[in-house]
Amino acid sequence: PPADLFLAAVEETVRANAAFVPPMGKGALYLRPLLLGSGPILGLGPAPSYTLVVYAAAVGAYFKGGQLTPIDLIVESRFHRAAPGGMGGTKAAGNYSPVLVTQLAAKKEGYADVVYLDAKTDTFLEEVSSCNLFVVSSRTISTPPLAGTILPGVTRRSVIELARARGYEVREEPVTVDAAMAADEVFTTGTAVVLSPVGSLTRGGERRQFGAAGEPTPVALELYQALTELQTERAPDPFGWVHAVEGAE
C-alpha cells in the first residue's frame, strides 16, 4: 500500500481506539497491519485486489513472566524457519507455520521460544520465531545480517541505531551459535517483544546462563530503557521516530 494510505489507516485506528491505550507503564496499544489478497479468483496467482486491515489490541508483556524477566531459549537442531532463496525476509503469515510445532514442543519443556540456525550449515544464528537476536561481548554488539532469511525488523533497526548512538560498536555480521554461547549477553527485539533479555540458551545438553537468575542483563536493560523512554516521550527523540496522532488524546 502507498505510505500515505498506510499511515492514514494506522492513524484512524489509533484515534478510534484511543480509549483502549493502557496507562503509562502498563502496556501498549499493539497495532497489526495486515494485507489480504481478495477477489473472485481460484487459480494460483496474485490476487486481483487487496484489503488492508489494521488491528489494534491493548497488550501487556509478550513473554509470560513480565517484560524484563529473562527468557529461556532452546537452539533448534532439526528444523529451520527459512531457507536461502525463500521468503523468510518478508512479514508473511505463512512464515509462522514452520515454527509452530517446534515452538509448542519447546514451550512444553519450559522454554519461552526457539532459536533457529541457518538452514545451510546449522552454524550461524538466524532469529527467534517472532523476534531478532543480538549478542553482546563487552562493548560490541553483533546481530545476524539481512540476507533474506531473517525478518528485517524495525525494532532491530532502531536498536542498532540507538546502541551506536550510545557508543556501542554494532556489527551486522554472521554470528555462530558457539559465539552466542560464549557471549556476555543475548537479547531479542521485536515490536511485540520490545527488547527482551535472554536468561539462558540451551543447545543439546549444554545450557548457558546469562547474568543472575531472574535479573535482566545490563546492556539489555540499558537499551530497553533507552528505547521505551524514547517511545513514551520520557526522553528526547533525536531520531524523529515518534509520530503524534492528532485528535487521539
Ligand X SMILES: *Cc1c(COP(=O)(O)O)cnc(C)c1O
**Nearest distance, CB of residue 132 and ligand X, angstroms:** 5
Q: Where does this chain bind ligand X (CB under 6 A)?
A: 91, 127, 130-132, 151, 153-156, 189-191
Instruction: Pick between residue 105 and residue 154 the one whose CB is nearest to ligand X.
Output: 154
Per DSSP, what are the bridge partners of residue 52? 35
Residue 130 Cβ vs ligand X, minimum distance, rounded to whole Å = 5
What is the tally of helices (H) and strands (E) in the chain? Answer: 5, 11
β 132-137/113-117 pair status: unpaired
User: Shortest Cβ distance from residue 62 to ligand X (Å)?
Assistant: 10
Closer Cβ to ligand X, 80 or 156, answer by number: 156
Q: Smaller CB distance to ligand X: residue 39 or 152?
A: 152
User: Which residue number is nearest to ligand X in terms of Cβ?
Assistant: 153
CB of 128 to ligand X, least distance (A): 7
Q: Which residues of 177-189 are buried (b: 16+ CB within 10 A; e: fewer)?
A: beebbebbbbbbb
Cell of 55: 488491528
Amino acid letter, residue 215? E
Compare residues 127 and 185 and give the one whose CB is closer to ligand X.
Answer: 127
Q: Is 91 a catalytic residue?
A: yes
Q: Which of 64, 91, 108, 120 is catalytic?
A: 91
> How many C-beta atoms lie closer than 10 Å to residue 68's C-beta?
17
- Closest-CA residue to 225 (of 187, 180, 171): 187
**Catalytic residue list:** 91
